[in-house]
Amino acid sequence: MNTPPLPRESRDTLFLLGALAWTLLPQLTQVPPWCAALAYAALAWRAWLAWHCRPLPSRWLLVLALLGASAGTLVSHQSLLGPSAGVTLLVVMSALKTLELRARRDATVVFFLGFFLVLANFLHSQALTTALAMGIAVWWLVAALVLSHLPEAPQTPPPPLRMALGLSARLLLTGLPLVVALFLLFPRVAPLWSMPTPGVGRTGLSDELRLGDVAELAQDDTLALRLQFETPGDMPPPSQLYFRGPVLSAPSGSGWRRREERGLGQPMLSMPAASGTATGRTVRYEMTLEPLGLGVLPLLETARTRPSRPDAEADQPWWRHPEGHWPTQRPLTERIRLHASATLDTPQHDPRALAAAASPAATPADDPRWAPYLALPAGEHPRTIAWADAQRADLPATADPTHPAVLAQWLLDHIRQQPYVYTLAPGRLADDPVDRFWLDQRAGFCEHYASAVTVVLRRWGVPARIVTGYLGGEVNPLNGVLEVRQRDAHAWVEYWHGGRGWVRLDPTGAVAPERVRRGERLPAPGGVVAQTLVRLDPLLLEQVRAAWGAAEHQWNQWVLGYTPHRQQDLLAALGWDALDPGQLGRWLALATAGLAGGAAAWWGWQRHRAGRDPWLRGHDRLRHVLQCKGYDAPAHLSVLGLRDHLRAQLPEPPHPDARAFTPFADTLALLSQWRYAPPAQRPAANPAGLWRAARRAARRLPTATVKRGTSRP
């Protein structure tokens, strides 16, 4: 049994509700849960009312819902003002407004609330996914607006959705050049173009470390940074792609935290200089850093020169810490682009080279410079400390108990010889995590090994600290950009060697050498879509990921990275290098006024054309084509009269010239049926399309012997 079609009002309302539901999707993770639930419940209720053609709820119920939403906003945000509270109220009120769609005025309000929601989504994210989703939302909202203004003749089917979607797409494409011009040329004054940044960033590395934190990050596929080297051949091997983040040298319970640069009003004590001379290849690169919420720039080791922002004139809010990392004045809550360099000379643990060197002088335990790097938390890790004391007494006679490289190598050999396992899921380490991991469970991730080795080295009198950051990454085959993700997070150890300085020691290399040598990661569980793509084609997921990564990089570089400096470079290339923002604004205002005047003139011409009956315009254009072919086409004849009159001017079948007349005559018959038949018997074709088909058929007719020219009306 065929279901009767929905009334036009119900169909248009359901389409508008679908567009609003799509627009609200990005807000699900930004607004309080009650707000998202209330908004989608209101949309679902309104859809049910439209589907069943039921009356709208009374106004007092909407007033109660509005008061409840205001109270919920006040409780959730402690205020009704500010960006977060404003977005929450906007989401709720947009959904509740659909429950009082009684007139076109109400629909217009809902349309523009939808456009405000599109803008509100960019307050939280300007990613390419958000831009594409909001582009679809704008298209659907404009289509809903077009639907509300399309007329409907009595006893005729409603205008199809396809027509509204096509018309809205043409409108948006028509305005696209103007949008691009405004984006490129509108003066980029900071208050207008700066985005409010949230108080915290995304989950990532931090100034504190608890065992298990890095393992959780290793299951996060979120992008952390992108790196493009100045010279393609400058990319170091995976074993040297260490991105130095926070250096954690202060014990904090069973974990570690970053040491403050200043303490008790005194500057940090400087470390003794190493006797070796730093040599190594220097590589230069451009880094696009995502808003990680981190207070340190994760730069490629070793960064000795100050990174610069090519799109900023002010002093750079970061400096080189004595421990080798680059802290910032505030957490990184916005995407930034950096130009930096790295010298690939970081001393790495090499037992043959370091052990061959003369044994460095023992570190004085009472020297205040070394105290922070020898300190152990009181009452923590008692079993590991007792184990370290016992092993120190039982070291082989050939081992130098005062040589830090020898002690470090003994620990690496111990890890290789014992049944230690490298895993993302070591299980719950109750009580003392270091003791449980090192002596009992022997299964952990990089931070477990780094923490245990640091405790043992400090107990043996070797200054040591933990460094967190990223290791490795993937090169996008489409653009050659190195993409480093949160799952590349890593932790390693540095110990002090009197002849070389701070030496990198990565205990992970003893249990999972492929992680250090080739930058391989442990496989993290994928989502449903990723698993489906892998089943279809093992390479398809990587190809899709590479294409999407390249598109995101271009979006970040040329849209989000279009800064005032890049705008000035563009203006200089166009020969307008002497323009300041004020002059540019005046020229843009004049250009906008000119475009507005041209649009007004075009609109007036269209209205002048629309003053005449479209049927008569189509009839005159068809007569013009026939007269150009040499036929007599009087203006007083109808389309069927024109058909019969033209048939008399052509030879009778089976003459070859008579064959071209058949499609022409059939098209004129359809036009006459559309014009004069009852609405139920009219053809589904558009009359404008039928007139175009008639003109095409007329051009295929044979040329008459005597040509009667005329001017086109």
CA distance 434 to 103: 68
Using CB atoms within 10 Å of the CB of residue 227, give its burial: 0 to 12 exposed, 13 to 18 middle, 19+ buried: buried
The residue among 554, 565, 473, 482 whose CA lies nearest residue 518 is 473
Candidates 207, 213, 506, 619; catalytic one: 506
Residue 704 and residue 628 in contact, taking contact as beta carbons nearer than 8 Å: no
Question: Is 389 in the active site?
Answer: no
Using CB atoms within 10 Å of the CB of residue 411, give its burial: 0 to 12 exposed, 13 to 18 middle, 19+ buried: buried
Residue 123: which residues within 8 A CB-CB, separation 6 or more?
Answer: 83, 87, 195, 196
Dmax (CA) for the chain in angstroms is 121
Question: Is 628 in the active site?
Answer: no
299: left (phi over 0), alpha (psi -120 to 50) or beta: beta
Residue 187 and residue 584 in contact, taking contact as beta carbons nearer than 8 Å: yes
> Which three-class secondary structure state does DSSP give residue 436?
helix
- The CA R_g of the chain, rounded to the nearest whole Å, is 37
CA distance 693 to 709: 22
> Which three-class secondary structure state does DSSP give residue 220?
coil
Write out the DSSP string of 448-508: HHHHHHHHHHHHTT--EEEEEEEE--EE-TTT--EEEEGGGEEEEEEEEETTTEEEEE-TH
Q: What's 54-78 look like in SS3? A: CCCCCHHHHHHHHHHHHHHHHHHHC
> Which three-class secondary structure state does DSSP give residue 230?
coil
Residue 556 and residue 483 in contact, taking contact as beta carbons nearer than 8 Å: no
| Residue appearing with tokens 């456009």 | 115
Half-sphere exposure of 570 (CA within 13 A, CB side): 15
CA distance 298 to 292: 10
CA distance 239 to 237: 5
CA distance 573 to 707: 56
Using CB atoms within 10 Å of the CB of residue 447, give its burial: 0 to 12 exposed, 13 to 18 middle, 19+ buried: buried
DSSP conformation class of 212: T
Q: Quick one: how far is CA 34 from the chain centroid?
A: 26
- E strand or H helix that includes residue 670: helix 661-676
Candidates 446, 448, 553, 619; catalytic one: 446
Residue 215 CA: distances (Å) to CA of 200, 210, 211, 489, 517: 21, 10, 8, 8, 19
Question: Is 490 in the active site?
Answer: yes
Candidates 349, 490, 497, 619; catalytic one: 490
Give the pair of three-digit tokens for residue 4: 């009767």
**Neighbour count for residue 499 (Cβ, 10 Å):** 17
CA distance 520 to 33: 38
Residue 292 and residue 199 in contact, taking contact as beta carbons nearer than 8 Å: no
The residue among 520, 535, 541, 544 whose CA lies nearest residue 218 is 520
Give the pair of three-digit tokens for residue 93: 């009120």
| Active-site annotation, residues | 446, 490, 506
